[in-house]
Structure 1
Amino acid sequence: MKRVLVAAALAAVGYGANALPVQAADGVPGVDVSNWTGEVDWASVASGGAKFAFVMASEGGDFVSPTFSAQFQGAADAGLIRGAYHFAQPHESDGAAQAEYFVQNGGRWTGDGITLPGVLDLEDNPYKDRNGKDNCYGLSPKDMVTWVKDFTKRYHQRTGRQAIIYTTASWWKTCTGDSAKFKANPLWLARWGADPGELPKSWDRHTFWQSADKGTLAGGQNSFNGSESELRELAISAVELTVSGQAKSRRSYTITIANTGPHPAGTIKISGRAYGGQKVVKAPGCKFSGTAVKCTVAKLNRGQKVRLTFTTKAPAKGSVGMRFTVGTVELNLKAR
């Protein structure tokens, strides 16, 4: 039976499996558990001060933790915010396939207010004696970055959330070349000791910190780097919109708004203004007068997008364009 070996992976950081337990000094306390933890007294975990729990759901492409359902539900029943994690085996199958396996076996995010985004667990290969691979599973840094990109991209496509990445600074530096390409993914940093220490290059702050493999609470000892209300906000998620635009000519402009988040988006307001001596002469579905235009998109379901086209009357020469505001996003489409 496959298993997750958090202790083996973190030994490389300088703390052995028998190290004395160290409690996280700051932040909101929490735990992580797996099939090796077994039955958990969740009421005791909650009364001990924990506010969240990460639960192992799957590994590679063929193992589901037999204790996942009971642990995941038990954490919720005790009033904890919970999240699922996937122990990566990058040599077995591609990242997209393992993300799909994770989503189908416990990693699917739900907007119930108590479920955190899923976690991609990346650490030293614990099965070197069996699979003959090195700590990076036989992948080059370039190939590992591709693998992680494929996993996080598919997870986002399936859930609308950015997967949390669990790793050590040492593993990330060695196995990804200290890639800086994953700033959008929250970091769960593993480092046993009194402080988080060095961060991998992709991040300027950690979101979660695993400070010990055992302590006064069941499982690994963790903290959230923020307030309890911020932890709940991470579980709830906000509407995510992607806005892009193009000046197709001196007289034609388009903007595209896509709902890339997990929730439907309603009442999206767009305002724009032409400059350079132009006037707006056509804006289907929008109100316009002179240089100004205002539009409202009533609703965009998850995965949907809308494209708006604006036509202007422009002078023959001079710099022209249109500026748009969509929420906090500002676009300046300058035509030649």
Structure 2
Amino acid sequence: MPRHLAALRRARPLTLTAVVLAAAATALAGLAVPASAATSRPLGIDVSRWQSAGASDSCAAQGIDWSKVSATTRSFVFIRATRTKAAVTAQDACFDRNWRGAVTAGIYRGAYHYAIPSAVAGSAARDARVFVSIVGRMQDAGDLPPVLDLETSGGLKPAQLATWTRTWLTTVRSLTGRQPMIYTYPSFWRSAMADSNAFHAYPLWIANWTATPSVPGGWPTYAVHQYSATGRVAGISGDVDLNVFNGSAAQLRAFAHLGTHPTTATTSSTAYRGSAWRISGYLRTSAGTPVTGATVRLYRRVGAGPWALVASTRTSSVTAWYGFTRQPTTAATYKVRYSGGTQFAASWSYPRSHTIRDRAVVSTTLGTSAIRVRKGSAVTLSGRLTRAVNGAPLPGKRVVVYQRVGAGPWTVVRAVTTSAKAARFALTVRPRVAVSYRAVFAGSYANRPSASTVRAVRLR
């Protein structure tokens, strides 16, 4: 964060030479990853308009060459999005260009707000809202957490500054769904924040231009270490801040918001009016890891109309499966949306559409081998299930045969399955009293329910 720490630089000028950088690889072994991983820790930078400075806070036409940056060992960048000056929070003149450039170059990217805290009521929340209005929710794959750059007190006492800081962080969290991180340097935190240990929930980005950083505030570890302010990187003219991530490349990928994708499968490309139609799938990261217990939402569009939210559910606890059941009345297109969260990026499923048709009218017949029999004699009940319009058989369907004695309730005799070709069914009963029978087809995805006429069997 060049120029912001100018006073600190004057107090302790430091240029990391090649010798110091070589020593840093060994010293970094004392951090929260094994010594064997020290040389493989991901390297990054942070930039602002100072790397593309034009006159009067403008952004010079010739800026950072992100294609050259991406060809170096620097795999992540934090970009200044906003700063507060003269009580006004404004966008960094080069933010849009730098943000686009980093995305195009395929570099993990984050955004930070350079704060000037104020005793004015509501200033922290206001600054946070302006920041989010510019950077968005930072829910795309590869987005690093939003950052509060805290290196000046604005004249606030430690307790006031802690309150201001907490308000900014919680406001950004509520607006983005991401857990922000804090950028600071050791002596500032220990003096201006009274070495507060109340912010451990927020990852620490520590600016300490030495091989092994001093960690203030009782943080058990840090996420990012800014170890130089005078680095040189291809594609950037002049000095640039250098950073190292305190973890592996895989951990950085997770820290930078894993990409996600909701898969989708449907009952059919044709939905039948009044029938249950299902769209279901799994929510997984780009690496195939299930995103369990996450809220996913179903959106529907009819024709060229707007997308409308129609339902929401949560993914299952093990496989991250989800499902929505609808009873559509018109042709429509659906998409599933995951809004993202503190660990995973937002995403949309591919669209799935269905046409709409009316369910077919069905005919269920029932006949008896006799209408008057001796008590306990065998009677065959038989019938057939067909489409009413063309008489096409409906094989393999479940038909339930019911009976009723006198004016009593209908009770189940037996469920039968229609035959494979002719869609016939039959069963034998032995009535001991006068009884009435009927066969009922409950309907299916493409067929309407149907019931036969009532057939009575009397005793001799």
How big is the shift at 1:101? 1.1
1:116 counterpart residue number: 144
Same amino acid, percent of matched pairs? 35
Q: Which protein has the larger Cα radius of gyration, Structure 1 or Structure 2?
A: 2
Mapping of residues 214-225 of structure 1, within 5 Å = 214-217=230-233, 218=236, 219-225=240-246
Distance 1:116 1:262, change over 3 A: farther
1:34 to 33, 48, 56: 48
Counterpart among 202, 219, 226 of residue 247 in structure 2: 226
Question: Is 1:266 the equivalent of 2:314?
Answer: yes
Pair 1:204-2:228 in alignment: no
Return the letter of the residue paired with 2:15: A
Correspondence for 1:155: 172
Per the alignment, residue 193 of structure 2 pairs with 176
* AA in 2 matched with 1:266: R
Asked if residue 186 in structure 1 is aligned to residue 203 in structure 2, the reply is yes
Per the TM alignment, residue 140 of structure 1 is displaced from its structure 2 partner at its CA by 0.6
2:5 corresponds to 1:7: yes
In 2, Cα distance between equivalents of 1:263 and 1:174: 42
- Residues 295, 315 of structure 2: 8 Å contact kept: no
Structure 1: where are the runs of 5+ without partners? 125-135, 240-260, 271-298, 304-336
Question: Residue 59 of structure 1 corresponds to which residue in structure 2?
Answer: 83
Q: 1:186 to 1:4 in 2, by over 3 A?
A: same
Match of 1:95 in 2: 124
Structure 2 unmatched ranges of 5 or more? 26-37, 53-62, 261-292, 297-312, 319-336, 342-460
Secondary structure in 2 matching 1:230:
helix
The 8 Å contact of residues 33 and 53 in structure 1, kept in 2 or not, is answered as yes
Letter in 1 for 2:182: I
CA RMSD of the aligned region, Å? 3.0
| Aligned partners of 1:6 and 1:213 also within 8 Å | no
- Is 1:145 paired with 2:179? no
Cα pair distance change 1:262/1:72, threshold 3 Å: farther
Post-superposition offset of 1:202 = 4.3
Q: 1:184 to 1:91 in 2, by over 3 A?
A: same
C-alpha distance after superposition, 1:282-332 (max 9, x if no partner): xxxxxxxxxxxxxxxxx99889xxxxxxxxxxxxxxxxxxxxxxxxxxxxx
Cα distance in 2 for residues equivalent to 1:190 and 1:300 = 35
Change (3 A) 1:149 1:262: farther
Matches within 5 A, 1:211-290: 211-217=227-233, 218=236, 219-236=240-257, 264=296, 266-267=314-315
Match of 2:426 in 1: none
Q: Closer, same or farther in 2 for the Cα pair 1:160/1:6, shift >3 Å? A: same
Looking at structure 1, the residues matched to 178 and 125 of structure 2 have their Cα atoms a distance apart, in angstroms, of 15
Q: CA deviation at 1:79?
A: 1.2
Contact 2:184–2:207, Cα closer than 8 Å, also in 1: yes
**1:63-106 deviation digits (Å, cap 9, x = unpaired):** 21111011111111111000001000102752111111111122
Q: CA deviation at 1:267?
A: 3.2
Tell me which amino acid in the other structure corresponds to 2:194. Answer: G
Contact 1:159 1:262 in 2 (8 A): no
Among 20, 43, 51, the alignment partner of 2:67 is 43
Task: Determine which of 8, 15, 19 is the counterpart of 2:15.
Answer: 19
User: 1: CA distance between counterparts of 2:131 and 2:229?
Assistant: 23
Contact 2:295–2:338 under 8 Å retained in 1: no
TM-score, normalization: structure 2?
0.47
One-letter code aligned to 1:216 = R
Asked if the contact 1:32–1:54 (Cα under 8 Å) also holds between the matched residues in 2, the reply is yes
Q: What TM-score do the two structures reach when normalised by structure 1? A: 0.64
Taking a change above 3 Å as real, the CA distance of residues 230 and 19 of structure 1, as seen in their structure-2 partners, is same
Q: Deviations over 1:181-203 (max 9, x none)?
A: 1111110000112221x211241
Distance (Å, rounded) in 2 between the aligned partners of 1:161 and 1:141: 26
Query: 1:20: Cα distance to partner?
Result: 4.7
